[in-house]
Every structure is written in structure tokens, then in C-alpha cells.
């Protein structure tokens, strides 16, 4: 497909800008990943659904995307301002595990698997790479050494810190720089370290006799911020196209990434910075500490399909805050079920996508990922009597390449639940190019008396004679 014009709201410039990649036809994207000391909640998951829609839109627009989502498995303290206990250590203590590197790897593996299950259930495409911070300690040390050589790092009794006063542009993301008239206190939530030169200075390396790795400065572990800089630059280069995260990353984490990366390399870290808004619960930001800890599994225990949550998120623009209620999710699930039913009613066979509606759909996506308008278009399109059912089905399949609702994998009614479950698992394996598993599942389905034929409109299931 020829590259389509795409406009994205850049937090760095506070305006919509036409996406102009570094390399024609390619887009490099880094999405801040989870800290794997616990399950992620559904508020966290919004950032990954948003990143997935962005990736799918880029691919829809003709780009080949290299997407990196990191795994933070050490170094993220309970306060983003470098105070409190390491979250992984907190997780070890919560689960009664010893505070050792081995136990930390065990904990990280458990919750990394849970995160991968979450993104798979939400039809989020697997990233190009899912690097772990603990597997990139040497890269982080080298980056800190580069900053130290340039005079940006200093040592206190508890770690190595970045001297923000050396960077006149610190806080430029979101207009939070010192030139904007904000005091040092604007950059921190809490600060108990009296040895820091300035309250907004942040840790590059934290000393820890209990847990950590050797370094030129002493045993310890890297700061959360340096991890993202090291991994993003390793997998995407010193400068890449797009960096995303939640809006809570803007004031501290992303500004710290920019400061340390750009002062180490003398080059921009990323050209486009995109941020998704919060999912609120009972009018407060959803968070573990606030008691609004609802996981994807919680939704399923309440009888909701995970993709219904994805559908609900798509009904709002990614930069608009959402108020989560069970009633709203129920409405989304009902709407998604109606869409699935309508899709099945359109029959099977060949059809041609409507170029007129594909153009309208593309226009909405190209306007800063306007998924609410795109979803509204889907429903209006289905009401058009001038388009045949088979053409409608072919068009919906194209739409779903971005919406990610799994329409092509819908199992017709009347299929036994055990067979339907195998079909769903097989579609997941095919989506991840796991052809061996897909073939094994096909044989299981056939053993239960059903044949599977793969078509452009999804699997065709028939009872065998």
C-alpha cells in the first residue's frame, strides 16, 4: 500500500503534526512497558491497546513497524521520584520469596507471562521485541558512564544521580521546563534525599548491598529511567520515530528519559511523543494504591469478554479520559455481540471492500487515531442498503485490521463449546505465525468431528459426516 498521510498529536510540540518517518516506509516505535511485580490493571492496559491501534494504523497506512515494549523487572521504585522500595523487591516480600536475583527472575517470569496473556486476550499484536531490563545491565552502565564523562552524573551515599541543572532544556516535554516558571518541586511527588543537588535530580544507579549487579560505582541496580533509554536506543537507534506511554509518564519518567538520552548522544531521542489518558474508577485514577485494582481476569470473572473492554476503549479518543463502570462495559459487550452477529449474518463467499468507505475509515484514523468516529462509521456503513452483504463483510474485515475485534475469527453459533475453544486457540496461534500449534489444534478439532477451512473471511467450520 502507498504511504498515507497520518497526523498525530505530539506532546512535545502540543499540536497535531504530519508523521514524517526517519526512513521512508518504516516506523520505529517504543512503548513503555509494565513493571512485572504484579498483575497489570485495566487502566494500564489502555496504553497498550492505544499503542496497538497506533501500530495497526501505521501498518494500514503503508509502513513497516518495528515495535518495542520493554519489561521492567528491576529498578522501578515505589515513587517515580526515586523514593521508596524497588517494586520488584516489594513483590518478592509480598509473595514470601527471598530477596535474591534468582527469586526476582521467577517473579518477573510469572507476571511477564500474565502480561503476555493479557495482550493476547485483547487482540494486541505481539511486539517486535519484548526486552527485559535485567538482560541489558551492561548497556545501562555504558550509558551512565557516558553521562559521567560529560559531567552530568554525580555520586551520593545511595546512588549515582543525573544533574538536571546541567540541562537548560530539562522538562521540555509537555511544557514543564524551568523556563516555564515551574519550581523544582513541580517535578517530584516526594523527596527525602537531602544529598541531591536539586529535588528534580534523578537516579541513574541505586546502591544496594542486598540486591544487584557490580558496577564502576558499586553494587546495585539501574534507575527505571535509564533502563528505557538504554533499551530503546539498542533496539531502535539513538533517534527513533515514536515514543508512547500514559500521561502519568510525561512530567517525570519521559522527561528524564529525554534528558539522559539526549545529553549522552547529542541527538533527539524521539520525534513524536504520544500519550494516552487515564481510565478512572469512581472518579479517581485507576491504581493499585487507590483500591481501583481491576485486572483483565476480574472482567472475565464477571462474565465479560476481554475484547469487549477493547471495544469500550475504542469508543473514546485515546487522549480523552474514561470513567470505568460495569454498566458501560456491559453496553460495550452488547454492542460488540451485535456486531459479531451482524458479521455472521452477512454470509460467506467472495466480496470486494467498498473503496468509498475504506477512504472514510482511513481519514478518521489519519486524524490522530479517531477511533470513535471510525466505530460510528462501521455502524452507519452496515445500514447502507446499496452495498451487498458480501461486500460489507469484506469491508468489515479490512476495518478490523485496525480495530482488532477479531471478527474474522468468530465461530458460528451451534458449534460445541470445546470445539469453539480450540478454534479460538488456533486463530491465536495463526495470528502469531505459530503454524505447528495451529496444525496440532486442527487435528484435535477434526478428532472431535469438525473440519476447518481457512478463508479470507475467517475459518469455515463444518461438521464432518
* Residues 38 and 105 grouped into a single domain: yes
* pLDDT tens, position by position, 128-168: 999 999 999 999 999 999 999 999 999 999 999 999 999 99
Residue 451 has φ and ψ, to the nearest 5°, of -100, 155
Asked if 69 and 166 sit in the same domain, the reply is: yes
My answer on whether 404 and 422 are in the same domain is no
DSSP 95-158: TT--SSHHHHHHHHHHHHHHHHHHHHHTTPPPPSB--BGGG-HHHHHHHHHHHHHTT-EEEETT
Q: Is residue 166 part of a domain?
A: yes
| Spatial separation of the C-alpha atoms in residues 48 and 58, rounded to whole Å | 15
Mean pLDDT of 346-374: 94
Measured in whole angstroms, how far is the alpha carbon of residue 63 from the centre of its chain?
19
Contact at 8 Å (CB) between 158 and 191? no
Please tell me the distance from the alpha carbon of residue 91 to that of residue 315, in angstroms, as a whole number: 34
Residue 3 pLDDT: 67
- 100 and 165 inside one domain: yes
Please check whether residue 92 is in contact with residue 98, taking contact to mean a CB–CB distance below 8 angstroms: yes
Task: Name the strands in the sheet holding 279-281, side by side, starting at the edge strand that comes first in the sequence.
Answer: 284-285, 279-281, 322-324
Q: What is the pLDDT of residues 178-220, one digit of tens each?
A: 544 444 454 444 455 678 999 999 999 999 988 899 999 999 9
Q: What is the pTM of this model?
A: 0.88
For 314-347, the pLDDT digits (tens) are 999 999 999 999 999 999 999 999 999 899 888 8
Do 399 and 421 belong together in one domain? no
Domain end among 276, 303, 336: 276
Contact in structure between 45 and 36 (CB atoms under 8 Å): no
One domain for residues 393 and 421: no
Q: Return d(Cα 373, Cα 57) in angstroms, integer.
A: 14
Are 32 and 224 a contacting pair, CB within 8 Å? Answer: no
Residue 256 has which C-alpha cell? 528524564
Residues comprising the chain, all counted: 465
**Residue 279 confidence class, pLDDT cut points 50, 70, 90:** very high
Same domain for 265 and 122:
yes
- What's the average model confidence in pLDDT over 208-235? 95
Residues 187 and 318 in one domain: no
Note whether residue 1 is domain-resident: no
Query: Is residue 336 classed exposed, middle or buried when 0-12, 13-18 and 19+ CB atoms within 10 A define those classes?
Result: buried
Question: What pLDDT sits at residue 432?
Answer: 72
- Examine residue 427 and state whether it is found in any structural domain, yes or no: yes
- Lowest mean pLDDT of 100-114, 150-164, 190-204, 223-237, name the range: 190-204
Beta bridge partners of 203: 161
CA torsion 201-202-206-212 (nearest 10°) is: -160
Pairwise CA distance, residues 200 & 98, whole Å = 33
Q: List, for residues 413-461, the tens digit of each pLDDT value.
A: 667 777 777 877 887 778 677 888 888 889 988 888 888 887 665 677 7
Q: Quick one: cell of 220? A: 546495585
Looking at 261, 276, 291, the residue that finishes a domain is: 276
Strand partners, 155: 160
Q: Which domain holds residue 431?
A: 417-463
**Total domains in the fold of the chain:** 3
Phi, psi dihedrals of residue 271, rounded to the nearest 5°: -90, -30
Question: Which residue, 247, 276, 305, sits at the end of a domain?
Answer: 276
% of the chain with per-residue pLDDT over 70: 91
Calculate helix-pair angle for 355-366, 371-382, nearest 10 degrees.
Answer: 160
- Does residue 2 form part of some domain? no
Amino acid at each position: 500500500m502507498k504511504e498515507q498521510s497520518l497526523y498525530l498529536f505530539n506532546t512535545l510540540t502540543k499540536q497535531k503534526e504530519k508523521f514524517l518517518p526517519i526512513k521512508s516506509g518504516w516506523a520505529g516505535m517504543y512503548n513503555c512497558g509494565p513493571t512485572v511485580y504484579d498483575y497489570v490493571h485495566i487502566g494500564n492496559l489502555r496504553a497498550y491497546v492505544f499503542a496497538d491501534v497506533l501500530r495497526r494504523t501505521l501498518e494500514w497506512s503503508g509502513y513497516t513497524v518495528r515495535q518495542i515494549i520493554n519489561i521492567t523487572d528491576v529498578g522501578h521504585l515505589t515513587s517515580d521520584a526515586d523514593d521508596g522500595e524497588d517494586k520488584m523487591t516489594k513483590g518478592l516480600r509480598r509473595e514470601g520469596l527471598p530477596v535474591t536475583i534468582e527469586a526476582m527472575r521467577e517473579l518477573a517470569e510469572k507476571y511477564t507471562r500474565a502480561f503476555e496473556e493479557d495482550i493476547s486476550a485483547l487482540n494486541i499484536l505481539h511486539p517486535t521485541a519484548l526486552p527485559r531490563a535485567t538482560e541489558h545491565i551492561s548497556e545501562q552502565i555504558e550509558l551512565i558512564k557516558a553521562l559521567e564523562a560529560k559531567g552530568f552524573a554525580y555520586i551520593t551515599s545511595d546512588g549515582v544521580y543525573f544533574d538536571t541543572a546541567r540541562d537548560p532544556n530539562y522538562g521540555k516535554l509537555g511544557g514543564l521546563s524551568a523556563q516555564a516558571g515551574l519550581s523544582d518541586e513541580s517535578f517530584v511527588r516526594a523527596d527525602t534525599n537531602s544529598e541531591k543537588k536539586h529535588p528534580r535530580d534523578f537516579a541513574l544507579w541505586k546502591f544496594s548491598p542486598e540486591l544487584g549487579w557490580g558496577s564502576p560505582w558499586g553494587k546495585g541496580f539501574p534507575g527505571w529511567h535509564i533502563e528505557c533509554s538504554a533499551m530503546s536506543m539498542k533496539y531502535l537507534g539513538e533517534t527513533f520515530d515514536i515514543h508512547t506511554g500514559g500521561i502519568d509518564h510525561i512530567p517525570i519518567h519521559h522527561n528524564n528519559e529525554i534528558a539522559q538520552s539526549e545529553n549522552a548522544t547529542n541527538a533527539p531521542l524521539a520525534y513524536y511523543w504520544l500519550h494516552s489518558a487515564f481510565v478512572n474508577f469512581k472518579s479517581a485514577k485507576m491504581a493499585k494504591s487507590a483500591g481501583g485494582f481491576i485486572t483483565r481476569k476480574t472482567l472475565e470473572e464477571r462474565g465479560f469478554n476481554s475484547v469487549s473492554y477493547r471495544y469500550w476503549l475504542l469508543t473514546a479518543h485515546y487522549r480523552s479520559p474514561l470513567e470505568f463502570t460495569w454498566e458501560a462495559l456491559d453496553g460495550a459487550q452488547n454492542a460488540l455481540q451485535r456486531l459479531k452477529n451482524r458479521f455472521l449474518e452477512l454470509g460467506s463467499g467472495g466480496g470486494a471492500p467498498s473503496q468509498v468507505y475504506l477512504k472514510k475509515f482511513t481519514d478518521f484514523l489519519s486524524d490522530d487515531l479517531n477511533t470513535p468516529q471510525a466505530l460510528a462509521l462501521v455502524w452507519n456503513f452496515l445500514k447502507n442498503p446499496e452495498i451487498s452483504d458480501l461486500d460489507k463483510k469484506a469491508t468489515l474485515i479490512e476495518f478490523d485490521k485496525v480495530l482488532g475485534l477479531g471478527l474474522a475469527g468468530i465461530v458460528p453459533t451451534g458449534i460445541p463449546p470445546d470445539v469453539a475453544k480450540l478454534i479460538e486457540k488456533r486463530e491465536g496461534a495463526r495470528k502469531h505465525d505459530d503454524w505447528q500449534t495451529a496444525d496440532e489444534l486442527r487435528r484435535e478439532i477434526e478428532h472431535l468431528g469438525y473440519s476447518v477451512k481457512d478463508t479470507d473471511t475467517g475459518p469455515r467450520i463444518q461438521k464432518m459426516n
